[in-house]
Amino acid sequence: MLQYLLEKEFTINGIKIVCKVTGAPATANDGQPYVLDIPAGPGAPSTTYMAKFLQKSKSPNLKPHVILFDFPGCGQSEKSKNPEFDYTIEHFTEIAARVVECVQDELNIGKLDLHVYGPGTPIGLNLPLHRPQWTTNQDSIQLKSIFAPNATVGIKGTLSADFVRQHYAYEPEFPEYIKALDKLHTGKITSRKAYISEYLAPMAPAYSDQYKSLPNKLLLSALKNHPDNVVKILKLFRRKASLEIVNGFSYEVLNQFYGSQWNGFELDVAIDNFNKKPWNKNKNVYSKIPIYASYQSHDFCTSGDQHLNQLQAMLPDVCGILRPGKIRDFKNLIFFSKFLSGDLEKFENQIRRDLSNRTILKANFTPGFRKSYEEAFKSVAKLSNKSTTHYEEVVKGEPCFFKSGKHQHPVTSSASQKLEMKA
């Protein structure tokens, strides 16, 4: 059971924000890292899923404090009186930053090492632009890393009707897909029942390969036919994380975000505008932060390749992972626990195993990522003296090669044979 060293309601920009911080009493200054868990969405409340997973970590020296909070209008936080202004990427990013500062003040933390876990991207990726001082060594809050599963860099290509037409026009459910997307984009999802019956259920076959499993087919069928009994159905299927989201989901926030097309937010434009500010002397806020970004090959009707390619074009030293759609989300939590341990070799070995069995399609480790990782985790890292791996990739029909320097080495003969058989 989770313990909380802080449970408080902060007033930020005139809105009451509910916040909790995990940990035993009087452990605020125990030297453990703090993880800001940015809720998914838009519209979703915070969940305890990731915090509970980290609590069960087998690493005896890693017991991070997780900062859980609800955005305005979501979960237990207060609704905004000016949703057009407050329900935006930029304002939500500022809220997230202020939450961390309020936690530091409330708990009287002298030095706070912060790691961002962000299903709610691009808010996590936008955070360094709102607090560039956190990326220097002069501030009492040090932004150490950003871990962005299902990374999204903007509205382009996100839940796009064009993407759906390109990939699913041949499917019999195609007219239902387009109708459901239109409901979302025009802000017509007004209730839990409407979200289930008019958007989630019609779009489910296009989400990912997860839908093809029998339990998920049964779950979606039950939700579609009985949208008034969502809670009972989720309890029956033991979907605890989904229950937390459903109970605090805000359709007003969802409609505002998509009805306004995220106010046109694009991360590359935000970075460009930040760098153009005449007073800004810190134009490389991302250069010292190890950033992990992943995407499923088909997730929520969005091109994973497109978002990762965009992100790596604007931030070349991002560690990018592309996963097949069939992989479960808990895999990201396994990666995150390895990533947070500070042991780069352990993290890379986990990636290698998944490359060899094809649950990952490709992984890109750049020299810049490795350098920033070693710098960020130098106080806890147990780095190997072996030659470092800069780039790893699986190409369909070819054995997996790990590239290090000028030499290429097959994984193992058995792994290569396994890959060739699966391809």
Tens-digit pLDDT profile for residues 53-100: 888 776 667 789 999 999 999 999 999 999 999 999 999 999 999 999
Helix pair 413-422, 344-356: axis angle to 10 deg: 50
C-alpha triplet 144, 141, 263: angle, nearest 5°: 80
C-alpha triplet 347, 352, 355: angle, nearest 5°: 130
Tokens of 199: 């958007």
Residue type, 274: F
Q: What mean pLDDT comes out for the span 229-257?
A: 76
- The arrangement of strands across the sheet holding 4-12 comes to 4-12, 15-22, 65-69, 34-37, 112-117, 141-148, 291-296, 319-323, 362-364, 391-393, 401-404, 407-410
Do the Cβ atoms of 352 and 411 come closer than 8 Å? yes
Phi, psi (degrees; rounded to nearest 5) at 112: -115, 110
What whole-number distance in Å separates Cα of residue 109 and Cα of residue 139?
A: 12
80-89, 161-170, 302-311, 407-416, range with greatest mean pLDDT:
80-89
Q: What mean pLDDT comes out for the span 27-44?
A: 89
pLDDT above 70 for 49:
yes
pLDDT the model gives residue 35: 95
Residue type, 141: I
pLDDT the model gives residue 303: 61
Q: Which helix (H) or strand (E) holds 335?
A: helix 330-340
Tell me how far CA of residue 321 lies from CA of 208, 235, 349, 360, in angstroms: 17, 32, 14, 7
Task: Count other Cβ atoms within 10 Å, centred on residue 387.
Answer: 11
Q: Minimum mean pLDDT among 81-85, 109-113, 238-242, 399-403: which range?
A: 399-403
pLDDT the model gives residue 207: 58
Q: Which of 408, 378, 403, 372 is nearest to 388 (CA)?
A: 403
Do the Cβ atoms of 418 and 358 come closer than 8 Å? no
> When comparing pLDDT for 328 and 183, which is higher?
183
Task: Check whether the bond before 42 is cis (ω within 30° of 0).
Answer: yes
Q: Is the pTM of this model over 0.85?
A: no
Intervals of CATH 3.40.50.1820 along the chain: 4-156+264-422
Tell me how far CA of residue 166 lies from CA of 98, 171, 310, in angstroms: 41, 11, 19
pLDDT category of residue 403 using cuts at 50, 70 and 90: very low
pLDDT the model gives residue 258: 84
Do the Cβ atoms of 389 and 404 come closer than 8 Å? yes
Q: What is the pLDDT of residues 321-346, one digit of tens each?
A: 877 655 556 778 888 988 998 888 88
| Fold of the domain spanning 4-156+264-422 | Rossmann fold (3.40.50)
pLDDT the model gives residue 400: 30
Q: Which of 36, 29, 34 is nearest to 110 (CA)?
A: 29
Q: What is the pLDDT of residues 340-394, one digit of tens each?
A: 988 888 888 888 888 887 778 888 888 889 999 988 987 554 433 333 333 333 3
Tokens of 222: 């039950």
Q: What is the pLDDT of residues 122-159, one digit of tens each?
A: 899 999 999 999 998 889 999 999 998 877 887 775 66
Phi, psi (degrees; rounded to nearest 5) at 186: -100, 10
Which segments of 208-239 does DSSP mark as H helices, in order? 214-225, 230-236
pLDDT the model gives residue 378: 78
What whole-number distance in Å separates Cα of residue 85 and Cα of residue 99?
A: 19
Q: Which of 407, 403, 408, 377 is nearest to 390 (CA)?
A: 403
